[in-house]
Structure 1
Amino acid sequence: MKLFKLIWKDKLAAISLSIIAVTIIAGIFAPLFAPHDPAEVNMELRFAPSSWEYLLGNDHLGRCILSRLIYGIRPSVLWVFVALAISVGIGAILGFVAGYFRGKTDAFVMRVCDVMLSFPGYVMILAVIGILGVGLENILIAFVIMKWAWFARIIRTSVMQYAEADYVKFSKALGVSNIKIIMKHIVPVALPDVAVISSSSFGSMILQLSGFSFLGLGIQAPNAEWGMMLNEAREVMFSRPEIMLAPGLTIIIVVSAINFLSDSLQVALDPKLMTSKHKLQGQTVASSAKLQGKEVA
């Protein structure tokens, strides 16, 4: 609750959180918000301009662009979030185990992570797509395969600094089990770090999925997805740029909101950054007051 209040005080973070919340709700309840069937073809309305019935107009097959944008939230945002949650879950478990127990366990987990991270991300994703075939599910599988190792390494580094705290050593001396120590003392303090790195990766995964769909490697027609909508509008980008504008702006707005919220979340969870921010604001206010005093004089 305190974290929510801190974020809500930041106007940019509050706007970003509202945009993300509205996007998620619209995606979950897409049949209620979408005015038309996103796959309904009506060639009579081909490239029709916006109207009261079709607020964003129609595409090259006469389909409602607004409806396709709303249904596109599911693969572009919601399913990416599922892949992110699975990746973070696997990475967190291995990161907590490696960072807490150290020794051979840490060495084994980190060597596996080193092997996974030695492959360039995009090359590995293309390799998975080449083996399993094109499609949304295969890209999400590739995300999980590639991302968990990065999360495990980052979370392990965070856990290591907390595992040496005095209260953890005191709990060990009292004979408290390792599982209880991890769940009671390590997870609560490491959770903010996990939240920050997860939120910062969310936007990049949405961009990656849209990029692969734009190349024709993601979700296939007639299903709606933002990157695929850009690909479909590419052929008429000069004659009818408004068709490309809707999905392009949607991607920019949603990813920017996620990035802004991630930055605010990092500041809210890090006391040092919060103190620096208040000092900077204080200096700005003081400078403004001096300038106003000089102008009055």
Structure 2
Amino acid sequence: MTQKMMIIDTDCGIDDAQAIMLALAAPNVKILGITCCFGNTDVDNVCQNVLRVLSVCQRTEVSVFRGAATSLVTAIKPFKEHFGTDGLGDVLEDRNSETWKKQIQEEHAVNALIRLVNENQGQVSLVTLGPLTNLALAVRLDPGLPQKLKDLYIMGGNMEGKGNVMPCAEFNFFMDPESAYIVLEEYLCPTHLATWEFTCRHKLSWEFFDEMTNQDTAVSQFMKTITSKCWAYSREPGPNIKDVLFGPGFVSYDAYAVAACLDSSIITESVVCAVRVETQGELGRGLMAMDPVCRLNKSHRVFVMKTCDLSKFSAMLMASLQQP
């Protein structure tokens, strides 16, 4: 079986951490590198979070690259509420240590992304779990980059006009709408989108979450620790917009994009259409508009995930916390 080559671009919060664990646990997958971007927290915390996940999973051979520290046009501060100020629930020690900097590659994430794709043309699956700033910068430096990818998987955007940080905008796209616009206009490779509403409509039970995190492994205990004091993982009724709109349950947002990349059969139905990201407006900035009737007159179509095989997906999540 041909080995799948993958690059993960992340703003590593708790759900990113689980998505990375999913990729690390998958058989016959080679992760060429993990590129870091601001988002859930600042980019230095993101780098440390990725290194911590790799250490827990005993996969420190995977290269980590520091990337964009802010959005392309408008300086937006990293979001430090949903998953804590450090992105991993504010429960880990050694945050004041400088030793992590020696483990980060000197090459900038954007340069690394361009190099790794060019070295493996037509073979790389790029999975993005945060704001799309690194990808937008990469296509400006190498306009032919998208055509050299095998495919692109994005967790971000929305399909019903519902938002989680604004009335109409999903977090990853809202944090850098210009970059999201560039990527969805200029990355003409096969593109698959796991929107916020899609992930919320395929939530899992808290009983499953407890079973998954109570396994007797270091990775499972790590997941249990980083979610232990995080309000986003609280079962109590509160201000979580996900619960208000879709009801209570556990959603590992970024893991859906990784799972779809690893096993396409997990996605049982997609909407194939053109999309465009809105960069203007007080309420609409960051909104992804879907165009099923071709009013935008765009030739490029993307696959917007609609339904998911939850049995397969939950089995993958469970297995990912059984390593090493």
TM-score band by shorter chain is under 0.3
Structure having the higher strand fraction is: 2
Structure having the higher helix fraction is: 1
TM-score by length of 2: 0.23
TM-score by length of 1: 0.25
Q: Which has the larger radius of gyration?
A: 1
